[in-house]
Each structure stands twice: as C-alpha cells, then as structure tokens.
Chains A and B, each alone.
With several copies, the nearest count.
Chain A
Amino acid sequence: MKRLTPYLLILPGGLWLAIFLVVPMVFMASVSTQEGNVVDGFAQTFNFANYTNTLALFQTQFLRSVGYGLAGTLIAIALAYPIAYWIAFRGGARKSTYLLLVLLPFFVSFVLRTVSWKFLLADEGIVLAPLKSLGVLPEDFHVLQTTVAVVGGLVYNYLPFMILPIYVALERVDPRSVEAAQDLYATRSAAFRKIVLPLSLPGVFAGVLMTFVPMTADYVNAGILGGPQNTMIGNIIQTKYLINNDYPSAAALSFTLMAAMLVGIFAYAKALGTENVLEAAAR
C-alpha cells in the first residue's frame, strides 16, 4: 500500500489533465486530419493537408491574431503597470478599496460591456456625432471597424488579468529595499530600474500568460468592434465550426493555435522558472 501511495497521489491530477486537457486535444487532433462533410459524415484519412491548406488560406488572420495579441498585451502592460504600482506603493491603508474600484467594471459581462462601447463609439453615435457636427472631426472619421478599436477592446477586456498579477508582485516588494537602493546612491529612477522592476517581472510574466493566449484566441472584440479588415483567427474558427460545419479545418486551425500557445507558454515558463511565475500567479 505504502509503495502505491505516490502513484495514487498522481492519479487525481493525471485524471484531471487527461479529461480536461488531453482528451479534448487528442480528439481535436483526430478531427483535424479527417475528411468529409456534415451530411455524409466525417472519416479519418490522416489528411494533413487540412493543416497546410487552412494555414495557407488564413495565414493573414493567423498573423494578425498574433499581432493583435502582442500589441494588446504590450499596451495592457503599459496601462496596468502604473495602475498596479500606484495602488501597491501609494494606496496606503485603502489598497483593497482601490483594487475593488479598478476591478469593479470587469464584473460586468464581457460582451455587454463591449456592445455598449460599440454603440457609444458608433460613427453617428453619441460621442462622434456631436464632434462631427461641430466640425472637430471630419465627417468620414470612424473608430469602429479599425485595428485601434479591436486592440482597444482586447486591452479593455483583459486589463484586470494584467493588473492583478502585477499588483500582487509589486505589493510583495519590500519598500525598504527601495530605500536601501536610494541610500546606496541610486536615484529614484535607478532604484526603480534596478530593484522594483526586476522584482515585479514575475508578475508581468504571469500577466502575459493570463492575457496573451485569450487575446490571441479572442473573437468577440473583432466580431463586435472590428470590420472585415480585422477578422481574427478566432472568428474564422468559430465560423467554420458553427456556420460552415467544416469541422476538420476548424480543428486544424484550433489545434495549430492551441499548440503554438502551449509551446509558447511552456518555453516561457521554462525560461523564467516555473516556480517564480506560478508563485506570482497564485498569490
């Protein structure tokens, strides 16, 4: 019995991964090489051309998604860092209240928020129409259906997942070590660069993990705020699955995306040391 214990301990975790990670992925991998259609059914033919074909066809959207994901992630860092910094170091006794204020908007459903922004920013909507009639903006100015709108939407929707881990990492930086750096002749900016920034990087990394993947796979923002020029790979996959019923192509695309993301995450976590990242993510 005692000898079996280690294996028994692995069992629940293994089952968990098997059911929630391995099974869907294996199934998706299997579908991705099938051929057929929804009327006649699908058959496994190990048709790897699904991959090459869809990738060739949707290369633009694929690269665009990664590009939007990267841009969104970088902008989110740029916005989240000062906010998290301010709360962690200047928030004083009210830290948690400030954090509540910052996170409050995000308790409201994702899609509802995004749709309401679509109306607010519509070409003849409440914001742009008066400005246009006043002549402040040209008549053909528009916000929606642009890259700016989609990336803005991504940032807006995933910002809290960047703020939280950065806040947690900053909150754990001992303010005395900053004082120590200043005592050792570092200017405020040097103390930030040499002490605060490196110590907060695990939080930034955790934030990247938590935002880059969903941003890249997102389809809601492109669907609502974007135009035909902003279609992301998530939209393609969704259309193929739900409207075209072209399951193999959709699976091939999904699988490629997912595999790329997982490889990226693992490489990233490995490079940083899993412990650091998770510690930052978990606390």
Chain B
Amino acid sequence: MTSAIDLDEVIKEYVSHGEVVQAVKGVSLSIAEGEFFSLLGPSGCGKTTTMRMIAGFEDPTRGKVRLHGQDVTNVPPNKRDVNMVFQSYALFPHMNVWDNVAFGLKQKKTPDAEIKRRVGEMLDIVDLTGREKRRPREMSGGQQQRVALARALVNNPRALLLDEPLGALDLKLRQAMQIELKRIQREVGITFVYVTHDQSEALTMSDRIAVMNDGLVEQLAGPREIYEQPASAFVAGFIGTSNLLAGTLAGGVLKVAGGRVLVPGGQDGEVNVTVRPEKITIDVDEPTQNVSAVPGTVAEVVYLGTYNSYAVRLSDGTEVTVFQQNANDATITAERGDAVWLSWQPQHSYAIGS
C-alpha cells in the first residue's frame, strides 16, 4: 500500500534582505492513509511551510512531494486532491455559509443536485444545519471553525491539512473541538495532517507526531514514545514539563546533590538526565528500595485542582517539579519549607546528550 503523503528531502529557501534563509532544511516523511499526523513545534520551526508545500502554496527549493505515490511537486494547489483548513479560517466574507461550503464543489462543476445533497449532509455533520444563510462575521469563532472544516471536508479530499485550526478558540471550546475533530476524522476516515504548537493538542489527537525544530524533524513517533522517550533535550523540554539533572554518570549511577539517580544502560560520562514530574514520588523518609532518590526542600506547593505541583529545591540549587494527583483530600504530603526525599523508578530516568 502506498502512503498518502510522502516528502522526500524537501528543502525550502527564501531570500530575505539579500540573504538566503532555509525555512525547511530537509524533511522526509511518510504519512499513511487514514492517519492522524501532527507537525508539532514552536513558531518559526518550519511546520507551516512544510504543510504549505504539501498543499502546493509553496514550491520546494529542492526535494519531492508525492500524494498517493504521484509526484505533485510542481502541481498547483487547485489540481491537488487535498484541502486545507486555514489558521484564521480564511472564510469568504462575502458569501454565506452554504456558498462557502459549496465553493469547492461548484469549482469542480459538480451537478447541482449532488452539491445540494453533499453540502446539506456536511452541514449536518458539523451541526450547522439551519444557519446556511449566515455570513461568517455573524458567527462565533467555534461556528466559523466548523464552516472552515465543512468547506474542506465536503470535497472528500484524500487528505485534509489543518493549520493550527483551533488556535483562535478559547480553552473550553478548544477542548470540545479536539474531541469533535478526532470523531470526524474517525467517521470520514481521511488522512489528517495537523499543524500545531500546542503539545497537549498533538498528544490528545495524533496517531503519530513529528516534532520539528529549526527546519528539521527532531523526532517522529507516537505520542507515548515522544513523551516517554524524548530523543533530545529540545523534545523533552517542548513536550510537557521535564526535569533536567546534569552530572557525571559512573557505573549507571549519577551522584546529585546528596542523592543518587539510577540510569540503567546509560553511557558513562557527562550526561543530562530527564525525569517527568508525574513519575516522582515525594516522601519525608529516605526510600529504602533500589530507586533513584534525591533529598531537597519544598520551595512551593501550587494547588491546581486535578493535581498539586511541588517545586523542590535541591542542595545544588536545581529546582525539580513534582506532580501529584489530587486523588483524595489528604494528598498534600509536604508543605513549603519541609525537607523531603524525591524518588522514582530507574526506568524513568532518560539520559540525553547535553
């Protein structure tokens, strides 16, 4: 089976103030049919440029773009069987909802009866039936978002490209739309390529994630692997909260601030070890088991509803964050100023290059 989208060593250069700038420095990807694939990274990392090359709005300086095995590198966007949902929706302000959604079908000279049926069905799916005559500016952000989605999906594209489609919505709505998007993707079974800078959005929805930084893919894997086994300090820091402990590893053990960190399989020498805040247990007594254990002082306890966040200062000044689920009334096990021991299982320490 051929994959839906292939990028083959794609490079994009711009000339800016007389200097050549590489926005994308050589990206190769294969996105499978029906996959929910995310391009995740900070602004300026090249993720949007990469997506725009898939859509056809940018021509790669070098490299090839293939859709279902067919080279489309020089095919204009209107001849590519993919559709895009734009960041600010880019709805047509002078057309009502119906005409916005019907636009693509009309351009493809679809028979009127079929346009009527498919637009009607699509508006039903995105729950906008009865609002066909509204203009975009008369609608809320969430409704506009759904129009944008319907306008792209109604064409039955072989892949849907989404450029931070939820960025303009507020938190509650964003969460609701995440679930909605995932549901629609499952229903229509279309390949989704999703560009976002929001790591929780990417983790929630994606089958696979490509974490991009500075024009390159730093890691390409499933959400769990990206989170639990970050390939670089950049990925560890960008995805969620991560604690970084630095030191010299000898015999699989790192001596830190009066404690020990076990790093099974780690190469001896200077290392950075990451551990996630939710893996750490906080206790007054020194743990006796064979775990990583470091003493420190609680600098701050923040109540966050679902969990508490502790900032624990080690004797060398490092601050370690610990999350503790608020599972019952008596969860706060330490107060500000308490001397505590932090411990975690050996397999949760990850050594990454410094």
Question: Are A185 and B108 touching (Cβ within 8 A)?
Answer: yes
Report if A184-B94 is in contact (Cβ < 8 Å); known contacts: A176-B88, A190-B107.
no
Among B57, B87, B94, B151, the most chain A Cβ lie within 10 Å of the Cβ of B94
Question: Are A184 and B83 touching (Cβ within 8 A)?
Answer: yes
Set B57, B78, B83: member contacting A186, Cβ < 8 A = B78
Question: Are A177 and B91 touching (Cβ within 8 A)?
Answer: yes
- The docked-state distance in angstroms from the alpha carbon of A125 to that of B78 is 54
**Per-position binary interface string of chain B over residues 95-139, scored 1 when its CB falls under 8 Å from any chain A CB and 0 otherwise:** 000000001100110000000000000000000000000000000
Question: Are A180 and B93 touching (Cβ within 8 A)?
Answer: no
B87 contact set on A, CB distance < 8 A: 176
A182 contact set on B, CB distance < 8 A: 57, 76-78
Set A183, A190, A198: member contacting B77, Cβ < 8 A = A183
Those of B147-171 within 8 Å (CB) of chain A: 151-152, 155
Report if A199-B93 is in contact (Cβ < 8 Å); known contacts: A182-B76, A182-B78, A183-B78.
yes
Task: Tell me whether A275 is interfacial, beta carbon within 8 Å.
Answer: no
A contact set with B: CB distance below 8 Å: 174, 176-177, 179-187, 190, 194-195, 198-199
Q: How many residues of B contact A (CB 8 A)?
A: 24
Task: Tell me whether B90 is interfacial, beta carbon within 8 Å.
Answer: yes
A181 contact set on B, CB distance < 8 A: 92, 103, 107
Task: Tell me whether B226 is interfacial, beta carbon within 8 Å.
Answer: no
B57 contact set on A, CB distance < 8 A: 179, 182-183
18 contacts between A and B (CB under 8 A): A177-B91, A179-B57, A179-B77, A179-B90, A181-B92, A182-B76, A182-B78, A183-B152, A184-B83, A184-B151, A185-B107, A185-B108, A186-B107, A187-B78, A194-B92, A198-B94, A199-B93, A199-B94
Question: Are A183 and B83 touching (Cβ within 8 A)?
Answer: yes
- The docked-state distance in angstroms from the alpha carbon of A179 to that of B88 is 12
What are the 10 closest A-B residue pairs judged by CB atoms, nearest first? A184-B104, A176-B90, A185-B107, A180-B90, A177-B90, A182-B77, A185-B78, A183-B84, A186-B107, A182-B78
B76 contact set on A, CB distance < 8 A: 182
Question: Are B84 and A177 touching (Cβ within 8 A)?
Answer: no
- The docked-state distance in angstroms from the alpha carbon of A184 to that of B90 is 12
Shortest CB-to-CB span from B137 to chain A, Å, is 12
A194 contact set on B, CB distance < 8 A: 92, 103
B90 contact set on A, CB distance < 8 A: 174, 176-177, 179-180
Task: Tell me whether B55 is interfacial, beta carbon within 8 Å.
Answer: yes
A177 contact set on B, CB distance < 8 A: 90-93
Shortest CB-to-CB span from B56 to chain A, Å, is 8
**Per-position binary interface string of chain B over residues 61-102, scored 1 when its CB falls under 8 Å from any chain A CB and 0 otherwise:** 000000000000000111100011011101111100000000
A195 contact set on B, CB distance < 8 A: 92
14 further A-B pairs in the complex, CB-CB below 8 A; given A179-B90, A180-B91: A177-B92, A177-B93, A179-B77, A181-B103, A181-B107, A182-B76, A183-B57, A183-B77, A184-B83, A184-B104, A184-B152, A185-B104, A185-B108, A194-B103
- The docked-state distance in angstroms from the alpha carbon of A177 to that of B57 is 13
- The docked-state distance in angstroms from the alpha carbon of A187 to that of B108 is 11
Question: Are A184 and B155 touching (Cβ within 8 A)?
Answer: yes
- The docked-state distance in angstroms from the alpha carbon of A195 to that of B92 is 7
Across the two chains, which residue of chain B brings its CB closest to A195?
B92
